[in-house]
Amino acid sequence: MKVLKRAQFGDPILRKTAKKLSVDEIKSVRIQKLIEDMRFTLLEKKLGIGLAAPQVGKSLALAVIAIRPTELRAKIKPFDLVLINPEITEYKGKTKEMWEGCISAGSKGTADLFAKVPRYEEVKVTYYDEKGTKHSKTFKDLKAQVIQHEVDHLGGILFVDLVKDTKTYMTYKEYLKVIPNELNP
């Protein structure tokens, strides 16, 4: 396993629509290795909670999610998901302004830029897993937010494209000051 180099904002691959994969491609050694390396990159470097293939230089409709408890999210249960050819088929509830960053908006592989992005609290997604099995599931809260962020990446959309209130932009250092107060009012 290896830590993959991340594409940064400005890299044209982040603006392309990613190529869908066939079930045979999903099961190939090449794609299985890519999934393994993407998961390793997230978990080993603790860089974020989601990573889309375009962020590691591959224009493929593939994303890996690895949510882990942190100091700021101490009560979160670990969650892992591989999304291949994902399509959000239903948005439920209202949109809510949620803090987001992106590891492609950082100089050292971590997110240096954060802002509030409107996201639906619940989404229904159709996708293939790493074994090539098709699923249709509903996800809520942080899981739904991360899925929306990663699906956007696969369509060439960055979180900065969706920010409504540009006054919410802030650096990671300032985000660390603000977010604990919002999580624990």
Please give the chain's pLDDT, 185 residues, in tens: 998 999 999 999 999 999 999 999 999 999 999 999 999 999 887 668 999 999 999 999 999 999 988 877 778 899 999 999 999 999 999 999 999 999 899 766 567 899 999 999 999 999 999 999 999 999 999 999 999 999 999 999 999 999 999 999 999 889 888 876 665 54
Residue ranges of domains in the chain: 12-183
- The closest of 183, 184, 160 to 8, measured between CA atoms, is 160
- Is 135 in contact with 128 (CB distance < 8 Å)? yes
CATH 3.40.50.720 is the classification of domain 12-183: no
Cα–Cα distances in Å, from 104 out to 55, 117, 131, 158? 7, 16, 27, 9
Catalytic residue list contains 87: no
For the chain, what's the residue count? 185
Distance CA 136, CA 41 (A): 26
Q: What global pTM score does this model have? A: 0.93
Rg (CA), the chain: 16
Q: Are 153 and 100 in contact (CB under 8 A)?
A: no
Which residue among 87, 90, 150, 182 is the active-site one? Answer: 150
**In contact, 35 and 64? CB cutoff 8 Å:** yes
pLDDT of residue 185: 46
* pLDDT for position 181: 66
- pLDDT (0 to 100) of residue 70: 80
